[in-house]
């Protein structure tokens, strides 16, 4: 199912002097770190490009990077209305895994995971990718049975996945409460050891820096206000910095995808909802893996700074305000305290929301449209961070060749007409 040979592109930075290394660190220490070069140029828009990517999140930046490094398309720009990584890329709980149920999902998420492995070298940027494992816990007999079925399906796709019993879980996560008398007892779980976390901002910065090095213009504070077309062809975009001519536009704007699509008269099956997360005050290392629970509904990990990072499900109504409703964090804190009683004594440090583009089958859209040169990459909803490299890689291929490869093909918009949905509500379990 997964292409064995991935074309990872040219990799690295052309200019050896700009590369980050222990040597560069020592050299710059000598001048008190006053002379580090800019990570990327502060570009202003040219009159025209071969292709324009709208949205400077991880997915948009990765798309630009692979367009340049794999397909040699370098006369391109990434247009971002705020600052790069300021959307969901910089707001997520950074969980990475590829243990999805359906073949189509296994194919794209595992493609991404293979790219994560080695991405820091490809980009010459420390993205702090940490394969600390992702453990999903079962709280009922039924859930446990469903999990073993899922584990077998995942393994058939060649992806690592193992069932754990409560004793093994206690050994893996000493701070967890496995007392069988609690409301949601830990009855077992399944783990993907190759899963883990990465530093979200670093992913945006790393892709931006490497793309910029190949000549990609990264244009911030530039909002796209219109998609201009002639007949069924795209001819350019309107922005607050003026008109930019181009024949190919890739839209990667997550929660704003419906707004963008309506600019071209296209209706999408998306609902934009707030997804919230919070971190506690930093504490000493206590949790060195990622824990997810569907029944109590939350997921938790500990950042390198020591904060406990918590997330849960989406708010129940559409919103474009990047804040959520209070009952949601209240619920996730209750869930965390149930599993980790010590957490009741922690103070909350920060809390935020991002607007996610939820899709009816909880799977993304990577698609051409019926307008020539207009492509959409959206619908990643609550769980697209883990897919960032894979999404960018296949979307770049779609834009460069004007046809989807076999990883992207199942994710076309036409599935909402044929009914060939990729229903990952169950397999994804907790929303992220």
Partner 1 sequence: MLQLPCPYCGPRDELEFSCGGEAHISRPLAHNKISDADFGEYLFLRDNPKGVFLERWRHASGCRRWFNVVRDTVSHDILEVYAMGRKPRSSAGKNAYNNSWRRTSAAEAAAVNK
Ligand X SMILES: Cc1cc2nc3c(=O)[nH]c(=O)nc-3n(C[C@H](O)[C@H](O)[C@H](O)COP(=O)(O)OP(=O)(O)OC[C@H]3O[C@@H](n4cnc5c(N)ncnc54)[C@H](O)[C@@H]3O)c2cc1C
Residue 292 makes contact with partner 1 by CB under 8 A: no
- Helices and strands (H, E) in the chain, number of each type: 12, 19
Regarding 269 and contact with partner 1 (CB under 8 A), the answer is: yes
Residue 81 interaction partner, one of partner 1, ligand X, none, beta carbon < 5-8 Å per kind: ligand X
Quick one: which of 229, 150, 244 has its CA closest to 189? 150
Residue in 267, 284, 345, 347 binding partner 1, rule: CB under 8 A: 267
3-state DSSP call for residue 273?
strand
The reply on whether position 360 binds partner 1 by CB under 8 A is yes
Tell me the closest approach of the beta carbon of residue 387 to ligand X, in angstroms: 7
Residue where the block lists tokens 């006053």 = 34
Stretches 38-46, 51-59, 207-215, 263-271: which one binds partner 1 (CB under 8 A)? Answer: 263-271
- State the binding partner of 88 from partner 1, ligand X, none, CB within 5 to 8 A by kind: ligand X
Other beta carbons less than 10 A from residue 234's beta carbon: 21
Say if CB 61 and CB 208 are below 8 A apart: yes
Residue 114 binds to ligand X (criterion: CB under 6 A): no
> Does 5 help bind partner 1 (rule: CB under 8 A)?
no
329 binds ligand X (CB under 6 A): no
C-alpha–C-alpha distance, residues 356 and 274, integer Å: 6
Helix (H, G, I), strand (E, B) or coil at 136: strand
State the DSSP H helix or E strand holding residue 115, giving kind and residue range, or none if neither.
helix 103-116
Q: Candidates 253, 332, 339, 428: give the one binding ligand X (CB under 6 A).
A: 253
Q: Does 226 bind partner 1 (CB under 8 A)?
A: no
Distance CA 138, CA 417 (A): 35
Q: Does 416 bind partner 1 (CB under 8 A)?
A: yes
Per 3-state DSSP, the chain is made up of helix, strand and coil in percentages (nearest 5) of 30, 25, 45
Query: Are 356 and 258 in contact, with CB atoms under 8 Å apart?
Result: no
Q: Of residues 9, 78, 94, 367, which one binds ligand X by CB under 6 A?
A: 94
Which range, of 27-35, 125-133, 310-318, 394-402, touches partner 1 by CB under 8 A? 310-318
Which residues on adjacent β-strands are paired with residue 353? 276
- Selected from 1, 10, 202, 271, the binder of partner 1 by CB under 8 A is 271
What backbone torsions phi and psi does residue 293 show, to the nearest 5 degrees?
A: -140, 125
Residues that bind partner 1 (CB under 8 A): 256, 258-259, 262, 265, 267-272, 316-321, 325-327, 360, 416-419
Residues lying near ligand X in the complex (CB under 6 A): 54-60, 79-82, 86-89, 91-95, 223-224, 252-254, 256, 275-277, 311, 354, 356, 380, 382-386, 432
């Amino acid at each position: 199912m997964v292409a064995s040979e991935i074309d990872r592109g040219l990799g690295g930075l052309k200019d050896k002097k700009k590369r980050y290394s222990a040597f560069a660190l020592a050299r710059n220490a000598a001048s008190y770190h006053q002379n580090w070069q800019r990570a990327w140029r502060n570009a202003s828009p040219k009159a025209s490009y071969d292709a324009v990517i709208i949205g400077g999140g991880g997915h948009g930046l990765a798309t630009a990077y692979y367009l340049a490094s794999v397909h040699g398309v370098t006369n391109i720009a990434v247009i971002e209305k705020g600052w790069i990584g300021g959307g969901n890329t910089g707001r997520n709980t950074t969980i990475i895994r590829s243990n999805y149920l359906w073949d189509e999902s296994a194919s794209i998420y595992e493609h991404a995971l293979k790219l994560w492995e080695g991405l820091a070298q490809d980009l010459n940027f420390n993205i702090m990718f940490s394969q600390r494992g992702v453990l999903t816990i079962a709280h009922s007999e039924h859930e446990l049975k469903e999990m073993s079925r899922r584990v077998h399906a995942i393994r058939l796709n060649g992806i690592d996945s193992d069932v754990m019993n409560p004793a093994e879980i206690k050994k893996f996560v000493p701070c967890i409460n496995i007392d069988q008398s609690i409301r949601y007892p830990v009855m077992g779980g399944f783990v993907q050891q190759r899963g883990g976390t990465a530093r979200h901002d670093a992913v945006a910065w790393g892709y931006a820096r490497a793309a910029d090095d190949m000549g990609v213009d990264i244009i911030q504070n530039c909002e796209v206000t219109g998609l201009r077309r002639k007949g069924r062809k795209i001819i350019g975009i309107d922005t607050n910095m003026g008109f930019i001519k181009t024949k190919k536009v890739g839209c990667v704007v997550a929660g704003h995808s419906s707004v963008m699509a309506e600019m071209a008269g296209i209706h999408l099956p998306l609902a934009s909802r707030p997804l919230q997360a919070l971190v506690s005050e930093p504490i000493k290392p206590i949790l060195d893996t990622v824990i997810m629970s569907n029944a109590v509904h939350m997921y938790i990990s500990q950042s390198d700074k020591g904060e406990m990072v918590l997330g849960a499900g989406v708010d129940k109504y559409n919103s474009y305000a990047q804040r959520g409703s209070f009952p949601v964090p209240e619920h996730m804190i209750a869930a965390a305290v149930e599993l980790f009683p010590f957490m009741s004594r922690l103070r909350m440090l920060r809390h935020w929301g991002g607007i996610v583009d939820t899709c009816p089958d909880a799977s993304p859209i990577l698609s051409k449209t019926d307008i020539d040169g207009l492509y959409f990459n959206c619908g990643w909803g609550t769980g697209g961070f883990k897919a960032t490299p894979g999404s960018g890689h296949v979307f770049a291929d779609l834009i460069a060749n004007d046809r989807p490869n076999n990883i992207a093909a199942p994710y076309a918009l036409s599935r909402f007409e044929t009914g060939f949905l990729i229903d990952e509500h169950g397999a994804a379990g907790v929303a992220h």
